[in-house]
Amino acid sequence: MASLGFEGFEKRLELVFLLPTCGGERARHGLRLLPVAALREALEAVQCAVVSAAGNASFDAYVLSESSLFVYPSRVILKTCGTTRLLRAVPVLLRAAGELGLGLRSCRYSRGSYLFPEAQPFPHADFDDEVRYLDGAVPSGLHFRRSSVLQPSPQSTHKWHVYSASTSSDGATGHEHVDGATHFTVEVCMTELDRTLARQFYLTPADARSSHAIGDEMTALSGLGGVNPQSLVFGYAFAPCGYSMNALDGARYATVHVTPEDGHSYASYEYAGGGADALASIGRAVAVFRPSVVSASVCYATTAGSQAVDATSVWSAVANALEPLGLACRSQAAEGFPGAVTVTYQTFTA
């Protein structure tokens, strides 16, 4: 817990590995062969734990006590909120992957601006410290490194922090396409949620059902089940309030995390998948919460795909999804990172 309330804004880490070329089980399953003990050690270093797990033919998904973990054969995405020490997982994961014969291909770390920055532990209180920690943690073979703080306007208090390291300056960073379409990773942060809608994510006193059962009911009643209607959704309710869910659809995933308390209410939506629906789904997710303040970041590969994608078209698609909800774009920015990846960032207010 932070000093004034729970820190909803998440830190996000994505590590992409090279699978062995010799074939066999390690080449097919890669990181999904990580021992349970290795995952537990990584999460203990972060100071969180698994509360729910699911999987399909493409990946494994875990709801954590603070956000989510996704494990594919060649990449792992770890997203945590609160005062977790996310980057402490990096050396643990690199060592465990190395024991499977997997070498790191790229690393990307991102986060927004905290609600309670003074409560964050080292190295997370300061982005410069996070960058130094990552520079020392990732292998020296990742020559192409860049860190940047996207602040669309000098007046804006909203900033998007990004660190990227890659073995290549222009090659792909893994999982760039889904069904022939350009892959997008969408991260949406919402604050000042509609109070009535936020109350849906409180437990009813004396409700004896499981956290999974109550979470499934919250998914249905809130409308979150319709954000990505083709997905299999796993919801989880926290006591006395709060909600997390992971949604699985083939190789795609979506995840939502809600901290509904008055004064520091927060919800996040993340989607990783291909096609225009990745951007259109932003509007459906934000409509569930009706926030007064929204920031949206989109990460995508610029080197290939079924159609050309640029920052202007992404900005327009995000604005088209949010403006019908009474939200106006106040600022926008975009920057390129090693591995031919572009990150866009926009802020919206009611």
As annotated, the active-site residues are 7, 10, 67, 81, 244, 257
DSSP 46-97: HT--EEEEEE-SS-EEEEETTEEEEE-SSEEEEEE-TT--GGGHHHHHHHHH
Report the amino acid identity of residue 5: G
CB atoms within 10 A of CB 69: 25
- C-alpha 58/C-alpha 161 separation (Å) is 29
The two structure tokens encoding residue 179: 């069904």
Tell me the C-alpha to C-alpha distance, in Å, between residue 154 and each of 229, 319, 332. 39, 21, 12
CA distance 66 to 260: 14
199: amino acid identity, one letter: R
Beta-carbon-side half-sphere exposure of residue 137 (alpha carbons within 13 Å): 26
Tell me whether residue 6 is exposed, middle or buried, using C-beta atoms within 10 angstroms of its C-beta: 0 to 12, 13 to 18, 19 or more.
buried
Q: Which residue has the tokens 């004064």?
A: 263
Look at strands 328-337 and 293-301 and give their pairing: unpaired
Nearest to 246 by CA among 40, 9, 53: 53
In angstroms, the CA 3 to CA 1 distance is 7
DSSP 340: T
Q: Angle at the Cα of 229 (from 224 to 234), degrees rounded to 5? A: 55
